[in-house]
Structures are given as structure tokens and as C-alpha cells.
Amino acid sequence: MSLNSESKLEPVGSAAGVGAVSSAAVKRPSSRAYFWGFGLVVLALDWFTKWLVVRNFQPYQSLSIWGEYVQLTYVRNAGGAFSLLANSPALWRSLLFIGIAAVTMVVLAVLAYREKQAGWDFLIPLGLICGGAAGNLIDRVTVGTVVDFIEVGVKAYHWPVFNLADSAIDIGVVWLLAVNLFTGHKASPAA
């Protein structure tokens, strides 16, 4: 006996042939796996790198990776991007940033679920943004600040210190903008 495309038992001498399995019987993973997979990878890498920095650095300690251009510098950011609202009342600031991250994650998960024909070019950046938001959300909920440690710049011109979660969010946003603006479509159909 062999399996046909509907996974029903069928006699050996049938039209499907001995031991034949239709390609429809082999299930491919949902394209939403891109969303969940990339989101979880970003979250895991973000958590691991922050753990390494907290374990091995003192606050404001730096390690040069590539001269003055790239350094690891451990800081705790109470604010948002560019330390936005860092000097605001702690409770108000924490609730605001926790709320923004939580709402963002829910909206992205709903988008990933609802866009049935979305392809990898739409779901991967959603996953990057969601994973980054989750990484920074965990920091805010557990310690009230976000661990930042990547510092880049030249001489007196240095970008504010950031982390992998921030990078994933930025890459995801730019990617989505490129898909939406430059290709003229929302996302390619799932392959």
C-alpha cells in the first residue's frame, strides 16, 4: 500500500504506483516560519551578547575592536533611541517604552498571521523588528534599562551606543521601506 496526496491508503497496484507519495503529501513549512525563526534568532543573539557584555565589562568600560572606529562600550540606556526621554520620570518612561514594544510585537505578529500570501521579503523584516523589540522589552521589564554596547564613529563623531536588537529593528524597518517603496509591492507571494 502507498500514500496518495490526501494521505489515504491506496492499493499497491493503483495509479499512484508502488510506494509513490505525491508532492502535495509532503508539507512545506509555513512562510510564517521566516517571521518566527528570524525573530527568535535575533532575540537569542541579542540576549547572549548582552549577557556576555554584562558579565565581562564594568559600566562605561570599552574595548577597541577596530581602532577608534568600532568599540565595545558597556552602557545602560534608560531612554529610547538616542537616549530619548532618558531624563523623564522613570515609571512614566518605563511604561511608555514597555507599552510601545508590546504593542509593536502584537501588531507585527498579527500582520505576519494575516498576510497569507506574504513572502520572505516581508516576513523576515517583520521578524527582525519583532525580535529586536522583544530583546529590548526584556531588558526594560527585568532591569528597567537597556544594555547597549556597540559604539562606532570617527574621532569626535560617534554614533550613540546601541545593541543587536537596535540593529535588527533598523535593518527590518529599512528592508520594509525598500520592499514597499522601491519594488512597488507589499511583499512577494510565498514561494
Backbone angles phi, psi at 114, to 5 degrees: -75, -30
pLDDT of residue 89: 65
DSSP bridge pairs for 126: none
Q: Which residues are catalytic?
A: 148, 166
Which position has the grid cell 528592508?
A: 175
pLDDT of residue 53: 97
Reported residue count of the chain is 191
Question: Consecutive 10-residue runs of the chain (191 residues): their mean pLDDT?
Answer: 45 52 55 90 98 97 93 88 66 81 93 82 94 95 93 90 96 94 61 46
Q: Where are the domains of the chain?
A: 1-28, 31-182
> What is the distance between the alpha carbons of residues 141 and 58, in angstroms, rounded to a whole number?
21
- Does the pTM surpass 0.85? The reply is no
Neighbours of 12 (CB within 10 A): 10
pLDDT of residue 113: 87
